Amino acid sequence: MFSISQDFAPPFKLISPFFIVGSFFYLAAVFYIFSIAHQNISLLDAKILGFVHLFLLGFVMMVIFGAMAQLVPVVLEVGHFGVELFYAIWPLLGIGTVMMVFGFSYPMLLPFGGVVVLIAMMIFVMEIFLTIRKVEKLTLVMSSVLIANIFLFFGIIFGLVMSLGYAGMISIDIDALLRSHVFLVVVGYIVVTIMGLSAVLIPMFGLSHGFSMRPLKIAMTMIGIAALFVVASSLGGIGALAYFGYALSVAAMVVYFFFVRVIYKTRARKEIDIYAKSLLFSYVSFMVSLVLGVLYFLGAGEPFILSAGWLMFFGFFGFIITGHIYKIIPFLVWFERFSPLVGKQKVPMLADMLPQKSSSAQLLFSATGVVVVAVALLLQNEILIKAGASFLLFGVFAFVKSVFYMINYK
């Protein structure tokens, strides 16, 4: 008999704070949009930087870290090195995020917030590295977890150095380091993590079989090389090198998109539930974001990269995360609350634990909001941005309601 992973489901009380706190940060990020004025709509504006960190650290990273507490044993097929360490991660990440968001308005706070976030991420990264050490033979997906965390490690080091420079404590070229920081964290960690996990989760939920993993291997290799180009451009002060990296990473993401498309085409389960709809919207946002990004690098104006970034963050990351939350939370709650009752009394199916109305409302309002804001950014129209944010606000309220519904399901 083959043995596979142990401890696949850590206690729900350990993971639930990540999802609860993360969803409140998502809500806070959408509220924050209403404070952004027309003059703030540019790439390096302090308000935009605060907003991006609020969303990416508070929501995206918070939920990914929580999800990884459960998914790492599933993917790595070994138990965690020290899953209790996750109890320390969410408070530190939450506090550090708040300090950093304020730090973009009060720069002295920034390095302190940065250090708190750094500690949270180091605990996470080290726990993952020590867990990976238990793996005897790395598969492609396991390698993706390792590579993503190496990128995260260096990405946050760049970020900390930048925060010291931002606060005036050291003299550095922030713009040069920014390239590596953004690339390593956003593409290196978040995108590579999504790439690796989606190769396990999308086939698992869709019952897909018989697809080749080769495109994923190609995409990850290309991103690894791209990261080297971008970091070399930061450290060597050669801006042009970064463009090779960007072009390579766009190509890698297109390869990855076709990989996901093959998984989707080979699925046995054709049901278009909230999970499938969320993923469809996320991947459409992903492709539109890439097109807008390419247009920006071909000479279109800054609105194109702002809109591309918006679609990548709120469209791709946002919906792929919310879609998976509709799978992960019911599973964890079911595992803890209902699995001991199997065979003794009737227990719900996982699909029964989904709030149909609020999840549908979340999808509809959030998707509308994401599209309206993306257009508004292209048009640089502040009123339209706030209109889109209003839709998004309803959507995120519905999302928070859904999260609590699933957590409290009895």
Stretch that binds other proteins, among 3-11, 184-192, 294-302, 380-388 (CB under 8 A): 3-11
Q: Which stretch binds other proteins (CB under 8 A): 19-27, 70-78, 184-192, 224-232?
A: 70-78
Binding mask 9-28 toward other proteins (x if CB under 8 A, else -) reads x-------------------
Helix (H) or strand (E) holding 291: helix 274-297
- The C-alpha torsion from 324 through 325 and 326 to 330, rounded to 10°, is 120
Binding pattern for the stretch 253-292 against other proteins, x by CB under 8 A and - elsewhere: ---------------xxxxx--------------------
Residues between 311 and 350 with contacts to other proteins, criterion CB under 8 A: 331, 334-335, 338-339, 342-343, 347-350
CA distance 332 to 339: 10
- The backbone torsions φ and ψ at residue 3, rounded to the nearest 5 degrees and listed phi first, read -100, 140
Helix 382-407 / helix 12-33 crossing angle, nearest 10 deg: 160
Residues in a beta bridge with 344: none
Examine residue 122 and tell whether it contacts other proteins (CB under 8 A).
no
Tokens (6 digits) for 201:
């989760």
Residue 22 C-alpha from the chain's centroid: 11
Closer CB to other proteins, 299 or 343, in the complex: 343
Number of Cβ within a 10 Å radius of residue 213: 12
Residue 146 in the binding site for other proteins (CB under 8 A): no
Member of 77, 116, 253, 370 binding other proteins (CB under 8 A): 77
Cβ-contact 155, 178 below 8 angstroms: no
Site membership for other proteins, residue 74 (CB under 8 A): yes
Q: Please choose, out of 166-174, 200-208, 214-222, 300-308, the segment that lies near other proteins by the rule CB under 8 A.
A: 200-208
Pick 170 or 207: Cβ nearer other proteins: 207
* Least distance from other proteins to the Cβ atom of residue 353, Å: 10
209 lines the binding site for other proteins (CB under 8 A):
yes
Length of the chain: 410
Provide the minimum distance between the beta carbon of 376 and other proteins in the complex, in angstroms, as a whole number.
34
In angstroms, the CA 212 to CA 207 distance is: 15
Q: How far is the CB of 207 from other proteins (least distance, A)?
A: 6
Complex with other proteins: residue 160 or 329, whichever CB lies closer? 329
CA 271 to chain centre: 25
321, two tokens: 């995360």
User: Rounded to whole angstroms, how far apart are CA atoms 49 and 370?
Assistant: 19
Residue 95 interacts with other proteins (CB under 8 A): yes or no: no
What values do phi and psi take at 208, rounded to 5? -90, 140
Question: Can residue 244 be called a binding residue for other proteins (CB under 8 A)?
Answer: no
- Asked if 238 interacts with other proteins (CB under 8 A), we say no
- Answer yes or no whether residue 44 interacts with other proteins by CB under 8 A: no
Using the contact rule CB under 8 A, the part of the chain among 129-137, 144-152, 202-210, 373-381 near other proteins is 202-210
Q: What CA–CA distance (Å, rounded) separates 156 from 47?
A: 20
267 three-class SS: strand
Rg (CA), the chain: 20
- 281 in Cβ contact with 317 (< 8 Å): no
User: Can you give the binding site for other proteins, defined by CB under 8 A?
Assistant: 1-2, 4-6, 8-9, 70, 74-75, 77, 200-201, 203-205, 207, 209-210, 268-272, 331, 334-335, 338-339, 342-343, 347-351
